[in-house]
């Protein structure tokens, strides 16, 4: 996806009516149909935040084309239904690829209205290769240890150093997981999802996915349309650009979000003292980047690490006050400590991050074709950099192992689907990670879907994050299958939440920096 995301214009769409999905009893358990499936044994694994959480494991085929062959293990979590009549399982996924969904089950169950959550077994899972599933991949521990080479390859030496890192990672994955890598992909993962569905004993399942989880859900719906009861996709991947073009499209959108942060800082010059002109503030940021390339803050935060630290601000504006404080401290006071702290909070990669990145690359590099000619990467990314420099080369190197990946690439799944019950889509107009065009595209591809848009919103992952307008549509749909129907391309519009305030004000914790929003975005991660 090389074109910029479309901008929603015009007046808010008037909701014309509602459509009710297939009756709930159509997905009642059918023991005869699923008698062959493994049974799940749920054990208590509650936490302070989610005391009713249960855990289980499920063995599935490494290669679903050979169900009696080598087995792997999926880690599952569940908050069981409490209502007298269940609507069956609701599988949830936070995205990635590489995101763990075990905690998300507790979050979703506790964030939905009690009467709605009580109707479902909310099931989270670590996809194959992730987290507590076995085997869990970790191709090259410490791959992101600081200080890395400058992301912008202004010299042949810098480009060579970054290329060596990318090739080293791809080679390490190939050597360490040669027998596994061909089966780490979206199609095998959605077949795992249907194995989870079968193990619950239900003929159909509902699904709720964020980010990459929307692509996972769309592919599941394409391969198993008769198994879908309800489908919710939030912050939607453009399936026509997976994955090379989608990443190029991200770069423009993240540059816009970075500039939005600069404009926000300009509004609060009395707090940050960085000026009132967003362009001049942006110039100060790039000057900071140049200085850190020469002398990393605390021996940890070089130019690449600075980008890593500020990229999360493109996902969630609740981080803006923390990033602004670190930026101001460095520029105004020559104090590097807040910047190092921000890096450690938002960007430092631990063992779980190493695992997540191993799966991210394994899935994306396998799912679809990537250029194997580095000249093509160089041409495309310099072209993006000229217009949108903030994340262009950082993102390129993040994905660069795909230029050297040891497995062949598959053909992406065409997710177009006319066999589903009404489905519900959510998309923010200024989302950077999954630009707005993705929501419009999937709305067109999924016949009978309804699209709810957050006008002016720039966060990635917008339901269950404090916007009551969005959450009402979600709750109604999960409760009885109703979806909004508008007269145009968009079915309903909700206004965005207010931007956050500086940390020194009382309002700092009441808007986008709400505890629920921060909790969700901590689960969604910062890539994909």
From 3.40.50.720, 3.20.20.120, 3.30.360.10, 3.40.50.1820, which CATH number describes the 15-136+182-242+411-497 domain?
A: 3.40.50.1820
* CA dist., res. 284 & res. 290, Å (int): 10
From residue 502, alpha-carbon distances to 314, 345, 398, 466 in Å are 17, 18, 31, 19
pLDDT at residue 19 is higher than 70? no
207-262 pLDDT tens trace: 999 999 999 999 999 999 999 999 999 999 999 999 999 999 999 999 999 999 99
Indicate the pLDDT class of residue 525, thresholds 50, 70 and 90: confident
Q: What is the percent of the chain where pLDDT is above 70?
A: 91
pLDDT at 21 over 70: no
CB 196 within 8 A of CB 91: yes
pLDDT of residue 363: 98
How many residues in total does the chain contain? 528
The predicted pLDDT at position 453 comes to 98
What is the predicted pLDDT for the residue at 279? 98
pLDDT value at residue 515: 82
Report DSSP state, residue 8.
-
Half-sphere exposure of 261 (CA within 13 A, CB side): 30
pLDDT band at 505 (very low <50, low <70, confident <90, very high): low
Question: pTM for the full model?
Answer: 0.93
What integer best gives the mean pLDDT of the chain? 92
Give first-to-last CA distance, the chain, whole Å.
Answer: 14
Tell whether omega for the bond before 80 is within 30 degrees of 0, i.e. cis: no
Band of the pLDDT at 7, cuts 50, 70, 90? very low
Write the DSSP string, 128-179.
TTSTTSBSPP-SSTTTTPSPPPPSS--SHHHHHHHHHHHHHHHHHHHHHSTT
Which of 433, 483, 427 has its CA nearest to residue 453?
Answer: 427
Cβ-proximal residues to 46 (8 Å cutoff; 6+ apart), any chain: 52, 53, 54
Is there a contact between 517 and 466 (Cβ–Cβ < 8 Å)?
yes
**Residues marked as catalytic:** 211, 431, 460
* Average confidence (pLDDT) over 315-335: 98
Q: Which residue has the higher pLDDT, 334 or 31?
A: 334
- Report the sign of the C-alpha dihedral through residues 17, 21, 22, 25, in that order: negative
pLDDT of 493 reads 98
Q: What is the DSSP letter of 202?
A: B
How does residue 514 score in pLDDT terms, banded at 50, 70 and 90? low
pLDDT tens readout for residues 256-298:
999 999 999 999 999 999 999 999 999 999 999 999 999 999 9
> What pLDDT is attached to residue 507?
45
The structural domains of the chain, with segments of one domain joined by +, span 15-136+182-242+411-497, 140-176+243-346+371-404+498-519
> Quick one: residue 364, left, alpha or beta (phi over 0 = left, psi -120 to 50 = alpha)?
alpha
Tell me what percent of the residues of the chain surpass a pLDDT of 90: 89
List the one residue out of 232, 23, 235, 237 whose CA is nearest residue 112. Answer: 232
Q: Is 364 helix (H, G, I), strand (E, B) or coil?
A: helix
Cis geometry, peptide bond prior to residue 295 (ω within 30 degrees of 0) = no
Residue 431's closest CA among 411, 414, 453? 453
pLDDT at 39: 87
Give 22's pLDDT tier (boundaries 50, 70, 90).
very low
């Amino acid at each position: 996806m090389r074109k910029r995301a479309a901008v929603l214009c015009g007046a808010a769409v008037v909701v014309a009516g509602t459509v009710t999905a297939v009756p709930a009893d159509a997905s009642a358990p059918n023991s005869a149909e699923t008698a062959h499936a493994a049974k799940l044994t749920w054990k208590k694994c509650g936490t302070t935040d989610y005391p009713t959480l249960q855990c289980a494991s499920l063995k599935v085929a490494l290669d679903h084309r050979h169900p009696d062959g080598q087995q792997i293990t999926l880690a599952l979590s569940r908050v069981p239904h409490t209502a007298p009549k269940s609507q069956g399982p609701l599988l949830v996924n936070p995205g990635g690829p590489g995101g763990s969904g075990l905690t998300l089950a507790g979050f979703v169950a506790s964030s939905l209205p009690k009467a709605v959550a009580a109707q479902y077994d909310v099931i989270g899972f670590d996809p194959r290769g992730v987290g507590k599933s076995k085997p869990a991949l970790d191709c090259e521990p410490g791959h992101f240890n600081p200080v890395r080479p400058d992301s912008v390859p202004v010299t042949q030496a810098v480009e060579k150093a970054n290329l060596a890192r990318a090739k080293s990672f791809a080679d390490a994955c190939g050597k360490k997981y040669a027998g596994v890598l061909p089966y780490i992909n979206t199609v095998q993962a959605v077949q795992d999802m249907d194995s989870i569905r079968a193990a619950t004993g239900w003929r159909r399942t509902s699904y709720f996915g964020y980010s990459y989880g929307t692509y996972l859900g769309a592919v599941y719906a394409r391969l198993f349309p008769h198994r879908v009861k309800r489908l919710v996709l939030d912050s939607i991947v453009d399936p026509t650009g997976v994955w090379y073009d989608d990443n190029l499209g991200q770069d423009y959108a993240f540059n816009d979000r970075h500039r939005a942060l600069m404009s926000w800082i300009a509004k609060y010059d009395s707090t940050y003292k960085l000026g009132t002109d967003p362009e001049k503030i942006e110039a100060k940021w790039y000057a900071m980047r140049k200085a850190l390339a020469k002398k990393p803050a605390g021996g940890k935060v070089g130019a690449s690490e600075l980008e890593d630290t500020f990229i999360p601000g493109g996902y969630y504006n609740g981080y803006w006050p923390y990033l602004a404080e670190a930026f101001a401290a460095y520029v105004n006071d020559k104090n590097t400590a807040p910047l190092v702290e921000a890096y450690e909070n938002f960007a430092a990669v631990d063992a779980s991050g190493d695992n997540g990145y191993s799966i991210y690359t394994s899935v994306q590099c396998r799912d679809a074709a990537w250029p194997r000619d580095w000249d093509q990467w160089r041409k495309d990314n310099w072209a993006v950099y000229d217009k949108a420099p903030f994340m262009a080369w950082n993102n390129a190197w993040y994905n660069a192992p795909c230029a050297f990946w040891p497995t062949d690439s598959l053909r992406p799944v065409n997710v177009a689907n006319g066999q589903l019950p009404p489905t519900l889509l959510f998309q923010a107009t200024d989302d950077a990670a999954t630009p707005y065009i993705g929501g419009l595209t999937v709305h067109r591809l999924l016949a009978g879907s309804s699209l709810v848009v957050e006008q002016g919103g720039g966060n990635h992952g917008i339901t269950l994050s404090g916007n009551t307008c969005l959450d009402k549509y979600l709750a109604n749909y999960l409760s009885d299958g109703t979806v909004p129907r508008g007269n145009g391309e968009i079915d309903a519009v909700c206004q965005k939440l207010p931007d956050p305030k500086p940390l020194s004000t009382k309002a700092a914790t009441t808007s986008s920096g709400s505890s629920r929003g921060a909790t969700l975005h901590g689960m969604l991660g910062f890539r994909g």
